[in-house]
Structure 1
Amino acid sequence: MAIVKLEIGVIFLIQMGVGILGNFSLLRLYTFTLLTGQNVRPTDMVLNQLVLANSFVLLSRGIPQTLAAFGLNYFLNEAECKLLFYFHRVARGVSLSTTCFLSGFQAIKLYPNLSKWLELRMRSPKCVSFSCFLFWILHLLVNIFVPMKVTGPMNSKNLSVKINYGYCSSLNPDRFKRFLVAFLFFTIDFMCLGLMAWASGFMVLFLHRQQTASPTHLHQQSYL
């Protein structure tokens, strides 16, 4: 059993190390680009926020899980557990929302024919910063209840109504609260995933039509 935990810990450590190294390299690149203002694209701000959110996810969940896999338990107090779970949920939500926003932004930039879409396309770079800021505020408010149910691992009272994560624990809510929370997060995730699927499908169909129309257009020009 100890060997299995050691192997799991090594796997977690490698994955976390590669993820943190890659995310922090990208975060440094996009932050440097935004600070210098050289060759800044509208998507650079979105990508910067996406990498920042992914880095928070890795730090808030990867490090504790890796330490717990190596057998280090009870290294966080109750306040640290609350902050850890709260920022993990916030960063996860921001990552998903930013990915959805990026997919929609790319789809809009790809279709300049309709006047309403063209107007949105021209105004979209100006609202990128505001949208990224709004995502953080939204998920900070949506996940405000998360610290209320998270407790420290040392709190061993009423273990039957607690969920143990190895380094922290949380209260197991009743059926109604569990359904309400699941419905809230499912709705947000479903909307984001649906918009991403629509944007991806639209871009694939648009590029496919452009590719099939190009040989016909070139064939017509050869007769002129």
Structure 2
Amino acid sequence: MDLCVTIKGVSFLLQTGMGILGNTVVLLAYAQIISVERKLLPVDMILCHLAFANLMLLLTRCVPQTMTVFGLPHLLNDGGCKVVIYAYRIGRALSVCITCMLSVFQAVTLAPAGPRLSDLKLMLPSLVIPTFAGLWFLNMAICIAAPFFSMAPRNGTVPAFTLNLGFCHVDFRDGLSYVINGVALSIRDFSFVALMLVSSSYILFLLHRHSRQVRNIRRSQGAGAETRAAKTVVTLVVLYVVFFGIDNVIWIYMLTVAKVSPVVADMRVFFSSFYAALSPYFIISSNKKVKAKLVCAVDQEQPSSVETKETKETKETKETKETNDK
């Protein structure tokens, strides 16, 4: 196998494996939290949904991409390509939308209470599920064109205006539909990124302006939790914007050429999926509830091994004592 292919395959394999593991751990941790508390805070509900969207993205894009790199062609037929590409587009869209939703909800939570804002703060928990539903319907409608242009790879040369994903082709057939699809997706993504940048900047402004007042007026654990959550949100937004910027620089380049090199497409996939693979580990390290569940799971394993060791030592001591008595 060629060295470049090996490096690319190992990179995709590590990214995919770490991303699936991290997001699965976050989802399992929140499942345990729900079983105990029966209710999640709005921020925790959004983080849980973000982990699900990222897991969906990794399973539908990085897994088949990794398998293709390692020489497993013809993974999907036309129908399979349509389903996988549609699911990937929705997962990727939900990742940016839910990250934006997270920053907006946290900005409203930290904003100074006013006559109208107080009512909105009280309504936040009840708005989470309807917002999820709205984002799902919005992105399912925007991404509906993807299945019509998706197909299994054909033998021969790749036609112009075709995104060669390796395991599937997205053939737009003409330049107009190719550009319209790219512009529509870019407008959606840039709109949500702009909104998350505005809300995150507002969060930073509030944290800078009211940090002392918050410490003096709200000495409870809840205020500290809000501050930690705000810092987590801002970091996730910065993380997303960095990889989003790299992704879209490559995407704009791809829109300007008729035939896209597979290497360029692979680079875009790698950087666009990096946020999905990295964000769960930041959630684990910064979220006390998730971290506590993982620590409890580890602690439950350790006593059993310690108990087995103590039982074995007690048995050996008892046998030695009986031997000495004889």
Normalising by structure 1, report the TM-score.
Answer: 0.88
- 1:48 is matched with 48
CA–CA separation in structure 2 for the residues paired with 1:194 and 1:52 = 23
Paired letter, 2:27? L
- Structure 1 residue 74, shift from structure 2 partner: 1.4
> Are residues 1:197 and 2:194 paired?
no
Paired letter, 1:77? N
1:123-173 CA distance string (max 9 Å, x none): 0110101111221121111111101001101x3477423443221112134
Q: How does 1:81-120 map to 2 (within 5 A)?
A: 81-120=81-120
- 2:236 is matched with none
**Is 1:34–1:44's contact at 8 Å kept on the other side of the alignment?**
no
Paired letter, 1:118? S
**Is 2:159–2:171's contact at 8 Å kept on the other side of the alignment?**
no
**Is 2:110–2:203's contact at 8 Å kept on the other side of the alignment?**
yes
- Structure 1 residue 112, shift from structure 2 partner: 3.1
| Aligned pairs, number | 216
Secondary structure of the equivalent of 2:159? helix
- Structure 1 residue 36, shift from structure 2 partner: 4.2
CA–CA separation in structure 2 for the residues paired with 1:35 and 1:139 = 30
CA–CA separation in structure 1 for the residues paired with 2:158 and 2:16 = 30
- 1:71 is matched with 71
Normalising by structure 2, report the TM-score.
Answer: 0.61
Paired letter, 2:22? G
Secondary structure of the equivalent of 1:64? helix
> Are residues 1:15 and 2:10 paired?
no
**Is 1:5–1:71's contact at 8 Å kept on the other side of the alignment?**
no
> Are residues 1:28 and 2:15 paired?
no
Identical aligned residues as a percent: 31
- 2:3 is matched with 3
Secondary structure of the equivalent of 2:13? helix
- Structure 1 residue 14, shift from structure 2 partner: 1.1
Structure 2 runs not aligned, ≥5 long: 218-326
**Is 2:146–2:170's contact at 8 Å kept on the other side of the alignment?**
no
1:180-205 CA distance string (max 9 Å, x none): 22221122111111111011110111
- Structure 1 residue 210, shift from structure 2 partner: 1.4
CA–CA separation in structure 2 for the residues paired with 1:78 and 1:39 = 42
CA–CA separation in structure 2 for the residues paired with 1:119 and 1:152 = 51
- 2:280 is matched with none
User: 1:118 and 1:112, CA in 2 relative to 1: closer, same or farther beyond 3 A?
Assistant: farther
CA–CA separation in structure 1 for the residues paired with 2:184 and 2:13 = 32
User: 1:23 and 1:77, CA in 2 relative to 1: closer, same or farther beyond 3 A?
Assistant: same
More moved, 168-177 vs 114-123: 168-177
Structure 1 runs not aligned, ≥5 long: 218-224
- 1:160 is matched with 159
- Structure 1 residue 37, shift from structure 2 partner: 3.6
**Is 1:42–1:128's contact at 8 Å kept on the other side of the alignment?**
yes
More moved, 166-175 vs 17-26: 166-175
Q: How does 1:165-176 map to 2 (within 5 A)?
A: 165-176=165-176
1:24-43 CA distance string (max 9 Å, x none): 00011123333444462122
More moved, 86-95 vs 38-47: 38-47
CA–CA separation in structure 2 for the residues paired with 1:71 and 1:193 = 36
